[in-house]
């Protein structure tokens, strides 16, 4: 095969991927789509350039327009989250966590975080970024439902172990965290509260989940491409705690974990942030309503959807126990083969060492299909197709495609024409 033939092969694979994904119902909880405007802004000369440091104090020349984009994005992120400080230079949410952990856990110490089976992200675990810094990571206590923190038990654990850092926020994230309820306990031992808002950032921005900084979190880290429908980047925001407190975090971002910081996604992040201001409240409300509707519809069809007595969820996610159908790996693969894409996931109480490769559960998110305009009625239809595939063994590819084809247009955002109008 010649180089040109290989080039055509690359283009063909990308086209086939895009066509296939446009014909499927995507329920991956950690994904979303860019608006046409935000996607168009990924294709700029910023791809080719370097800009280490802060705007106005770069280690490279030729950045005056990059500085303008970064400065305005920074201002808007501060405004959206009511923050005193922000850093928008992170290429991912995990790198944001890496920076914070390296700054706040320098020299080791004890941290509290959610375990992986309790919904915690891998970067909060012993095998992830936090594990490289903390001497000991203790698991945050949960209520009997497994999906909510036990605030009273957490306060007791904070008093006993005197952690330097308490990490809230999860990867499987159904309900708000009790930030205010543990603030005083953290103050008594000098612990910092970090809220990882990666999954629910758009819901927070839309005012429909919780407000971590206002409730007492010192910091919030996040990725910007889940319910916050921007490009794949990361941010750190904080309440006011003084220059001396923020400076180690700033230094941990650069030169600690970044050099150049993927400048080509900055204009897109600014555009997406504008869309969040314009459309975020309506989008967050619709997303949560859809998640509740899908949870109820699947529950009505006999699926073991988590937390029915709590309304299934307060976020974009629901969790389903599918062990009776072969487990999360087998069910997610069967669904993918039939045009419904979701991911297997550990559920509370499972042993990650035994079940990580075929856990009992599925994690489902409705944020992308909400952005394409689907509502509660369509959530009911998804549940029907889901049930026909998983319970009845039917091939539902055509049904999934027909439903998806009826919603081709991205909403809650700007068009490419808006860039020039």
DSSP 8-state class, residue 304 = E
Rounded CA Rg of the chain = 22
pLDDT tens readout for residues 70-84: 999 999 999 999 999
CA distance 200 to 7: 38
Element (H, E) at 283: helix 266-300
pLDDT of residue 117: 86
List the beta strands (DSSP E) in 224-263. 234-238
CA distance 87 to 119: 26
pLDDT of residue 355: 80
In this prediction, residue 349 has a pLDDT band, given cuts at 50, 70 and 90, of: confident
pLDDT of residue 357: 84
> What's the farthest any 2 CA atoms get from each other in the chain?
67
Q: Is-cis flag, bond preceding 255, omega within 30?
A: yes
Q: CB–CB of 230/274 below 8 Å?
A: no
Q: Is the pLDDT of residue 263 over 90?
A: yes
Q: CB–CB of 386/364 below 8 Å?
A: no
- Kindly provide the b/e burial profile for residues 333-358, where b requires at least 16 CB atoms within 10 angstroms of the residue's own CB: ebbeebbbbbbbbbbbebeeeebeee
The values of phi and psi at residue 398, to 5°, are -65, -35
Q: Is the pLDDT of residue 356 over 90?
A: no
Judged by DSSP in three states, 168 sits in strand
Query: Bridge partners of 54?
Result: 57
DSSP 8-state class, residue 191 = P
pLDDT of residue 338: 98
pLDDT of residue 311: 98
Q: Give the number of residues written for the chain.
A: 421
Closest CA to 290 of 368, 344, 224: 368
Lowest mean pLDDT among 136-150, 342-356, 387-401: 342-356
Closest CA to 124 of 155, 147, 101: 101
pLDDT of residue 354: 83
User: What are the counts of helices (DSSP H) followed by strands (DSSP E) for the chain?
Assistant: 15, 15
Closest CA to 347 of 318, 368, 367, 326: 318
Q: Which two tokens stand for residue 239?
A: 């309440």
SS3 content of the chain, % helix, strand, coil (to 5): 50, 15, 40
pLDDT tens readout for residues 198-219: 999 999 999 999 999 999 999 9
Q: Is the pLDDT of residue 421 over 80?
A: no
pLDDT of residue 358: 87
Judged by DSSP in three states, 140 sits in coil
pLDDT of residue 289: 98
Tell me, which fold does domain 39-271 have in CATH?
A: 3.40.640
Q: Is the pLDDT of residue 144 over 80?
A: yes
Closest CA to 210 of 196, 200, 223: 200
């Amino acid at each position: 095969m010649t180089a040109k033939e290989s080039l055509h092969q690359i283009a063909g694979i990308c086209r086939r991927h895009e066509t296939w994904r446009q014909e499927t119902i995507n329920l991956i909880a950690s994904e979303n789509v860019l608006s046409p405007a935000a996607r168009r802004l990924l294709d700029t000369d910023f791809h080719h350039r370097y800009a280490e440091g802060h705007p106005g104090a770069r280690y490279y020349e030729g950045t005056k327009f990059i500085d303008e984009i970064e400065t305005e994005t920074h201002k808007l992120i501060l405004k959206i989250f009511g923050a005193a400080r922000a850093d928008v230079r992170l290429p991912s949410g995990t790198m944001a966590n890496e920076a914070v952990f390296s700054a706040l856990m320098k020299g080791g110490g004890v941290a509290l975080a959610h375990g992986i089976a309790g919904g915690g992200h891998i970067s909060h675990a012993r095998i992830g970024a936090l594990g490289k810094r903390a001497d000991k990571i203790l698991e945050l206590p949960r209520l009997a439902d497994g999906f909510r923190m036990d605030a009273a038990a957490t306060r007791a654990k904070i008093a006993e172990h005197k952690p330097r850092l308490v990490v809230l926020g999860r990867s499987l994230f159904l309900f708000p965290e009790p930030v205010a309820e543990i603030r005083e306990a953290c103050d008594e031992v000098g612990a910092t509260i970090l809220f990882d808002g990666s999954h629910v950032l758009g819901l927070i921005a839309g005012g429909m989940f919780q407000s971590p900084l206002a409730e007492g979190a010192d910091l919030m880290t996040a990725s910007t491409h889940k319910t916050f429908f921007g490009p794949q980047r990361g941010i750190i925001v904080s309440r006011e705690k003084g220059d001396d407190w923020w400076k180690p975090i700033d230094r941990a971002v650069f030169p600690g974990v970044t050099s150049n910081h993927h400048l080509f996604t900055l204009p897109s992040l600014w555009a997406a942030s504008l869309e969040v201001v314009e459309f975020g409240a309506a989008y967050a409300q619709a997303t949560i309503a859809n998640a509740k509707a899908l949870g109820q519809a699947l529950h009505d069809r006999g699926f073991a959807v988590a937390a029915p007595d709590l309304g299934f969820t307060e976020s974009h996610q629901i969790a389903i126990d599918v062990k009776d159908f072969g487990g999360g790996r087998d069910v997610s693969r069967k669904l993918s083969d039939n045009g419904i894409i979701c991911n297997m996931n550990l559920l509370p109480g499972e042993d990650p060492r035994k079940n990580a490769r075929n856990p009992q559960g599925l994690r489902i998110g409705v944020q992308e299909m909400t952005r394409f305009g689907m509502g509660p009625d369509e959530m009911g239809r998804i549940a029907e197709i889901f049930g026909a595939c998983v319970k009845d063994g039917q091939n539902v590819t055509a049904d999934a495609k027909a439903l998806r084809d009826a919603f081709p247009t991205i909403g809650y955002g700007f068009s490419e024409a808006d860039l020039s109008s």
